[in-house]
Amino acid sequence: MKKSVLFGALTVTGLVAGAAQAATLDDVKERGELNCGVVTGLAGFGAPDANGVWEGFDVAVCRAVAAAVLGDPTAVNFVPTTGQTRFTALASGEIDMLARNTTWTFSRDTDLKFDFAGVNYYDGQGFIVPTALGVSSAKDLDGATVCIQTGTTTELNLADFFRNNNISYEPVPVETNAEAQQQYLAGACDAYTTDASGLAATRATFENPGEHVILPEIISKEPLGPLVRHGDNEWGDIVRWTLNALIAAEEFGVTSANVNELAAAPGTNPEVNRLLGTEGELGAMIGLENEWAKNAIAAGGNYGEIFEKNIGENTPIGLARGLNAQWTNGGLIYAPPFR
């Protein structure tokens, strides 16, 4: 008797646990809010503004997904995560998706059981040093003290780089970008290393950005993108195609300014029509309203607009499109066809 009770309990909890896993979409709809993991604060990529409203390049992805799923770009609960806490937060279901300059790697995709929805920024790891040190190459950093965020790919690249070049260094582990910045500016480390985009964003917040140089060496490939838990493919599709919609919108000239007009009636480009829901049933195929993509684009503009507004050349961060230009302009940003 006892045994059967026990097995009964086992199967019931097994079922409950299994059911809790899937259907992130239903959870989000029921909650009326998207739980989105972001950075603790990195200018241009994700940080609360003076009014406490989250803004940034990665934050915009969260807003686009919320707009696509719930029709409301403000229905997002932003959960700040550090390099170390982000994966646990996602795996445990505390957040529905993570949009926090996270590098797509083999083991994160397979062993850690996540699914990357694409790449929203092609990056690489660099070093920043005070100009006063007179260092012109990362290979001159023999014996230097280097600040590094723990729980990142950059930590592993750093170890490999110094090992391969047969030079020594002293790592100073820090938790967040803000801490790293403080340590670096206090001179507790000679150099700070992380994704080059993050370095540019960090330098932009310095009092005297001109006193610091980003060294020419880029020591790794860091394709950064949003990710979801492995296993809930429907939800993964939604995040993936929302990102693709933003990218395709730039390619086809759909902007936050003209998206409402274009979505009002079918136009001449059938792919734009399908994207904006004036033709076909793409929204229904992923379990969303037909104007999902229209809402996503209206939230913060297309990929190019988001880039220019948050981190582009006219912002203090001042990043050029470079690899992150559309494929039609010789970059790597490319959305598969909407059909």
Partner 1 sequence: MTTTSDAPKAGFRPSQLIYDTRYRSLTIQVIAFIALMLGLSWLVSNTIANLSALGKDFDFGFLGQRAGYDINQRLIEYDSASSHGRAALVGILNTLLIAVLGCALATVVGVLAGVLRLSKNWLVAKLMAVYVEGFRNIPVLLWILLVFALMTEATPQPRDFREGGDASMILGDTIAITNRGVFIPAPFWGAGAGILLAVFLVSLVAIFFWRRYAHRTQEQTGRILPIGWGTLGLLIVPTAVAFLALGMTSGRVTQPVLATGATEGMTLTDYAASQQTINACAVPFSTESLNLRRLMRSQEIRFNYVAVEDAAGALAALEAGNCNVLSLPASVDLATVPAGAVALSDTIRRGMPVEFERPVLGGFNFEGGLQLRNSLIALWLALSLYTGAFIAENVRGGILSVSKGQTEAAYALGIKPSRTMRLVILPQALRVIIPPMISQYLNLTKNSSLAIAVGYMDVRSTLGGITINQTGKELEGMLLLGLFYLVTSLVISSAMNLYNASVKLKER
Ligand X SMILES: N[C@@H](CCC(=O)N[C@@H](CS)C(=O)NCC(=O)O)C(=O)O
The residues of the shown chain that bind ligand X, judged by CB under 6 A, are 39-42, 82-83, 101-103, 149, 152-154, 176-177, 194-195, 198, 222, 224
DSSP class of residue 46 equals B
39-78 binders of partner 1 (CB under 8 A)? none
Q: Which does 42 bind (CB under 5 to 8 A by kind): ligand X, partner 1, none?
A: ligand X
In sequence order, what are the residues at sequence separation of 6 or more whose Cβ sits closer than 8 angstroms to the Cβ of residue 57? 44, 45, 46, 120, 121, 306, 307, 310, 311
- Cross-sheet strand order for the sheet of 34-38: 76-80, 34-38, 97-98, 227-229, 114-116
CA angle, corner 304, sides to 300 and 307, nearest 5? 75
> Would you count residue 290 as binding partner 1 (CB under 8 A)?
no
In sequence order, what are the residues at sequence separation of 6 or more whose Cβ sits closer than 8 angstroms to the Cβ of residue 324? 121, 122, 307, 331, 332, 333
Considering the complex, state which of residue 2 and residue 339 has its C-beta at the smaller distance from partner 1: 2
- Shortest distance, position 58 Cβ to partner 1, whole Å: 19
Size of the site for partner 1 (CB under 8 A): 52
For residues 150 and 86, give the distance between their C-alpha atoms in angstroms, rounded to a whole number. 12
- Shortest distance, position 87 Cβ to partner 1, whole Å: 6
227 touches 130 (CB < 8 A) = no
- Shortest distance, position 205 Cβ to partner 1, whole Å: 19
> Would you count residue 164 as binding partner 1 (CB under 8 A)?
no
DSSP class of residue 103 equals B
DSSP class of residue 326 equals B
> Would you count residue 156 as binding partner 1 (CB under 8 A)?
yes
DSSP class of residue 160 equals H
| Cα–Cα nearest to 168, from 135, 142, 138, 133 | 142
Q: Which does 102 bind (CB under 5 to 8 A by kind): partner 1, ligand X, none?
A: ligand X
- Shortest distance, position 338 Cβ to partner 1, whole Å: 30
> Would you count residue 224 as binding partner 1 (CB under 8 A)?
no
For residues 39 and 33, give the distance between their C-alpha atoms in angstroms, rounded to a whole number. 19
Q: Which span sits near partner 1 by CB under 8 A: 17-25, 267-275, 281-289, 309-317?
A: 17-25
> Would you count residue 216 as binding partner 1 (CB under 8 A)?
no
Contact positions vs partner 1 (CB under 8 A) = 2, 5-6, 9-10, 13-14, 17-18, 20-21, 83-84, 87-88, 91, 107, 111-113, 133, 141-145, 150-151, 155-156, 158-160, 162-163, 166, 169-175, 183, 186-190, 229-231
